[in-house]
Structure 1
Amino acid sequence: MEGWHQLYPGHIPTSPLQKALLAAGSAVMALYDPYRHDMVAVFGETTGCLALPNLRDKMRNHPEGYRILQERPRIRLSTLDMARLQGLPDGSLGREYVRFLEDNKVSPDTRMPAKFVDDEELAYVIQRYREVHDLMHTLLGMPTNMLGEVVVKWFEAIQTGLPMCVLGAAFGPVRLSTRKLQVLATELVPWAIRSGLNASCVLNVYYEQRWEQPVESLREELGIFPPPAVRV
């Protein structure tokens, strides 16, 4: 568009009306197919105008978060020493993160790059959120099935205030069975909400420098309560 320019590689300038249309369309598609990560990503970027500055400010006002904003680390296969992480002791963050990736057949490289956020620093904030999402699964002990994703989204909705997390938390359960809905409502959601409210901001952790730390120790440091002893 005339008068607009790229703020970072891949940035696509959009007007408020275009953002509204993208948000509406991506929300419909994401609700129809929650595994359309591209649509979830678009919805997150076009609706995060209030939550992202708040998250950025939390990072700026925290020593570790500030360092992350300055150094801009990325969690990609190209930046991870997978052999080293696999060799760490069981129970450590690095070993359990790799175990999560292997067990669920997922890769950090599947996270979409930011495109529609009209601020270079805020674009990094949402990129960082996406790249630590699998670490949230690891810390919370949740798999990537629909029930596990909904639980993580409840925790992230409380933590971040991002509308896409709220959408996933609210509408994700519609595809669950009656038994899973009961477990979700009586045990998992109350735990996720309590942990989300109690925990310090999860974006203020330099996870790349915490690989050797035991998961239980990091949970305790952040204020995440131990997961309920239920099958997810």
Structure 2
Amino acid sequence: MLDPNTLTLPENASLFTRLNLALKILKVIKGNEGNPVYGQTLNACLDYNVYESLAQRLQSSAYWRRMLSERPSLESRNLDLDALERLPEGTLGHAYARYFRDNKISPFETTLEIKNDIDFIAKRYRETHDLLHLVTGYGTDVMGEMELQAYALGNLGIRTAALIVLVGTVGQLKDRQSGVDSSEYMRRVWAAYHRGRASPLFLDFWFEDHWETPVATLSASLCAPATQLH
């Protein structure tokens, strides 16, 4: 068993090093998919070049330049869920706090050191996962998770998301793990992928500045309409 606290991806690691570490993580991550160190390290191993490309694409965004300068955090220690839950019902903050209470989970947390912009992008992608559930409307069941991963693949080209969708699809074809029939599963995953492609990139969005904004408003501005892509 790999010790999550000893997992480090060397800066400017070669493709061989990244793939070798990714394979080691894949052997132990099953049943521990929520581990933030495993998840973030695997994401960085597979998506290093994707993040480099995204960083270049986002350089024209003033929000992104500010984000790289300030490196905001949505980790558990930087959130006050009690205060967010007191915001009006329907706002992002209230929905976000209720999301964690209702699912009996805690916000993202990691012990990995953020040494460069690539590390920050990997972390930002991971810690916005739960917010994306809210703004996209995809559930937290198996089907909803596959839809969200397909959305992220379409929106950002994330290879980790592609791997998760692939594994999930194999499970669906073998055991119908999503709870829906295979034709419905494929239709919904495909629709989510195209919805992600049709939506603006979300990585430079400052969710922290919009706790009082209605979720419906954010969904309309950040996501292409789902109903038009089914």
Question: What TM-score, normalized by structure 1, do the two folds share?
Answer: 0.80
Per the TM alignment, residue 43 of structure 1 is displaced from its structure 2 partner at its CA by: 2.1
Matched residues in 2 for 1:67 and 1:36: separation? 29
How far has the Cα of 1:77 moved from its partner? 2.5
In the other structure, the counterpart of 1:212 is: 212
d(CA) in 1 for partners of 2:129, 2:155:
12
CA–CA separation in structure 2 for the residues paired with 1:193 and 1:12: 29
Residues 87-106 of structure 1 mapped to structure 2, 5 A cutoff: 87-106=86-105
Q: Counterpart of 1:50?
A: 49
Q: Report the 3-state secondary structure (helix = DSSP H, G, I; strand = E; otherwise coil) of the residue aligned with 1:204.
A: coil
Inter-CA distance 152–227: structure 2 relative to 1 (3 Å threshold): farther
Change (3 A) 1:34 1:169: farther
Unaligned runs of 5+ in 2: 1-6
Q: Hey, what's the Cα distance between the residues in 1 that align with 2:159 and 2:48? A: 10
Kindly indicate whether residue 129 of structure 2 is the aligned counterpart of residue 140 of structure 1: no
- Counterparts of 2:158 and 2:111 in 1: how far apart (Å)? 17
- 1:87-120 CA-to-partner distances (Å, cap 9, x unmatched) read 112221111111211121221244x4446x9x61
2:3 aligned residue? none
Q: Which deviations, in whole Å up to 9, do the C-alpha atoms of 1:164-189 show, x marking residues without a partner? A: 11101121133345452343222x22
Superposed, 1:25-174 pairs within 5 Å as: 25-30=24-29, 32-33=30-31, 35=33, 37=35, 38-110=37-109, 112-114=110-112, 120-174=116-170
User: C-alpha separation between the residues in 2 aligned to 1:71 and 1:36?
Assistant: 26
Letter in 1 for 2:199: A
CA contact (8 A) 1:154 1:166 kept: yes
Selected match of 2:10 from 13, 16, 32 = 13
Q: Give, in whole Å, the separation in 2 of the partners of 1:102 and 1:227.
A: 29
Q: Unaligned regions of 5+ residues in structure 1, if any?
A: 1-9
Equivalent residue, structure 2, for 1:191: 191
C-alpha separation between the residues in 2 aligned to 1:133 and 1:28? 23
* Distance change in 2, residues 1:143/1:113 (3 Å): farther
Question: Shift of residue 137 of structure 1?
Answer: 1.0
Aligned partners of 1:151 and 1:77: how far apart in 2? 25
The code of the aligned residue for 1:144 comes to T
Give the drift of 1:69: 1.4
Question: Could you say if the C-alpha distance between residues 12 and 170 of structure 1 is closer, same or farther in structure 2, counting changes exceeding 3 Å?
Answer: closer
Residue aligned with 1:159, SS? helix
Residues 97 and 138, structure 1, Cα contact 8 Å, conserved in 2: yes
Map Cα deviations across residues 131-161 of structure 1 (whole Å, 9 max, x no partner).
Answer: 1111111112233332221111101111221
Q: Hey, what's the Cα distance between the residues in 2 that align with 1:202 and 1:61? A: 14
Would you say how many aligned residue pairs link Structure 1 and Structure 2? 214
Amino-acid identity (%): 24
Structure 1 CA distance for aligned equivalents of residues 121 and 43 of structure 2: 12
